[in-house]
Chains A and B, each alone.
Chain A
Amino acid sequence: MILHRINSAVLAVVWLCGIAAGQCVQSQSEVITLYFGVETPPPGMHFQTIPSAHTDIEIPFRFAGGWDVHINTDLPVPNTRIETQNAFFSIGADARTTLSEIPPEYAFIGAAANETFWLFSGYNTAPGFDSQDMTTAEVNALCLWNPNKPDKFANSNNKWLQVRLVAVRGPAGGQVAMFEDGELTPIVFFATFNGIDNDDEYYIVVKSHSHKSWTFTKPGLYEIDLQIATYYQCDASLTEDRTGDCVVDLEDFAALAAEAWMPNDLLTFIDQWLECGSPFDSECP
């Protein structure tokens, strides 16, 4: 009995030092593919062309269901949801742009002087990134962290979501960039002209919303792979969350059953399981 209590105490210390005690762990979405067609039709019948209306790439973090990345557009009615694998962003001839001289700060576009490229402007209908659709509990679970990326305007302690460019499949020689204009210099988030690396990333603070401009240097279909990540912490009071997923569920019961457990442990487990102690528990209302 005494030995078991000592074991339990040791386990409790481990939890306190670990996830259940509030240690921040990373959550990363699956790779999400966005489809952009530059003067090109959708690649399949199942695609829905995004209307020329305010549209966002919503990237809420849902603990129970992981990431709920999807498209939200305001036509035909506000808050029309389209899954990313069915969404097709159509960029027409009206986006053609030519500069007689490419300023050095815009070399990242990958276009030469007098060469046509396509500007999908964040001021018009290029999609924004939106992290507003999260509950207070979901936001509370996110950790404060500092990406330390002043060049990406992400250099403070905040609840950030990272959007990372993973890969681009497009027409031969086609380059993609995502950026924001500034008075003096643009802020470049993604640019493939120099390859794709750890510098191709964008950070958005939770509960915010921002539109970017995109450029494409060749007509054709672009499949753009993104991955979203953040850091979160579990509720330290969920002592029966033995699997460290922030939810007290049957997996924790299995873990409990595999141990030398005490009736009190079981009662605590049942209490936390039935009480729906985690706001992220998908089985709870």
Chain B
Amino acid sequence: MMKTLTCIAIVLISCVVPAGAAYYTSGHADIGLGEGNEVKLHLHAHSGAIFDGSPLQDDTEFEPDEVIIVVPNTTQFSRPSGAAWDFLGNAAGAATWRLPASAAAATAENAPFLGIGAEDVDLGVFVDNTLTLTLVAVNGPGHFSLYKVSLGTPTAYMASSDGITAADAITAAAGSHLHFNFGFSEAGLYEITFLAKAIDAATQEELTSEATYNFLVVPEPATIVLLMTGAAGLVRRK
């Protein structure tokens, strides 16, 4: 029943997501910041990641708008109390969703294990071998955040709840990749725009790439039932 309702939720929300995009539902993928000597946002999916219900046989690269990153309801948790968690943008105890920084949690919750990667970027190409990823815009029903938790204390690196500024950014070293929690304060479809930047070590030119990624946060089944009931009522009135 739970699975059926979740499927219905995906179908309902699918009506508003970009047509033709692939649904990424589990396994490991990274928001790729570049490749070789290029700054270019993309999604680097590792073999075994599930796209449209099937595992990828090989590592595959997608354009950001070719993919819907699904945040399943299994990732829902109640927002902890304390001001340290205010960046999530909702009240203590409120339903919150997140793609986990933990591979173990992602596996257990059958959720995407999404990272941020610069593994395909050559060393020595950019100043300090560093690339920056900045949050540009969030278009969705709630707030987006990117954060880590250490010894029970969260640190937010990006959060739309207090406005989006240049401080909503992380850095990644060429050749490395990072994992954070991707937090969402409401269910629904989010279009999240990022800007990747690096300075060419040879020319000192700033290279940039901007792209929008789609995240589909699946609501809890009870909400789906309400949505369906409401929809049925509308149909009857007509």
Contact = CB atoms under 8 A, between A and B. Distances in A.
Contacts of B20: none
A205 B152 contact: no
A211 B26 CA distance: 18
A208 B103 contact: yes
A172 B98 CA distance: 40
A54 B176 contact: yes
B80 A153 contact: no
B123 A207 contact: no
A137 interface: no
Interface string A206-235: 011111010000000000000000000000
Contacts of B107: 153-154, 156, 158, 205, 208
Interface stretch (A25-33, A178-186, A273-281): A178-186
Interface-central residue, A121, A187, A209, by most chain B CB under 10 Å: A209
A262 to B, nearest CB: 41
B47 interface: yes
A182 B150 contact: no
Given A207-B46, A207-B48, A208-B113, A182 B28 contact: no
Interface residues of A, number: 39
B120 to A, nearest CB: 10
Interface in A64-121: 74, 77-78, 97, 99, 103, 105-106, 119, 121
Nearest to B59: A132
B116 to A, nearest CB: 12
B105 A187 contact: yes
A154 B108 CA distance: 7
B140 to A, nearest CB: 20
Nearest to B177: A54
A210 B176 contact: no
Given A53-B176, A154-B104, A204-B103, A181 B46 contact: no
B173 A210 contact: no
Contacts of B148: 123, 181
A115 B103 CA distance: 30
B104 A210 contact: yes
B223 interface: no
Given A74-B175, A207-B47, A180 B108 contact: no
A53 B149 CA distance: 21
Contacts of A146: none
Given A77-B123, A183-B98, A210 B103 contact: yes
Interface in A13-72: 53-54
A99 B153 CA distance: 11
Contact of A181 (B77, B80, B149): B149
29 contacts: A53-B173, A54-B173, A54-B176, A74-B175, A74-B176, A78-B119, A99-B151, A105-B152, A106-B152, A121-B150, A123-B148, A123-B178, A150-B108, A152-B104, A153-B108, A158-B107, A181-B150, A182-B100, A182-B102, A182-B105, A183-B149, A183-B181, A204-B104, A205-B103, A208-B103, A208-B107, A209-B103, A210-B102, A211-B179
Interface of A: 53-54, 74, 77-78, 97, 99, 103, 105-106, 119, 121, 123, 132, 136, 150, 152-156, 158, 180-184, 186-187, 202-205, 207-211, 213
Given A54-B176, A187-B102, A207-B46, 19 more contacts: A53-B175, A54-B173, A77-B123, A106-B152, A119-B151, A123-B101, A123-B179, A136-B57, A153-B102, A153-B105, A153-B107, A158-B107, A182-B100, A183-B98, A184-B80, A202-B104, A208-B28, A209-B28, A209-B103
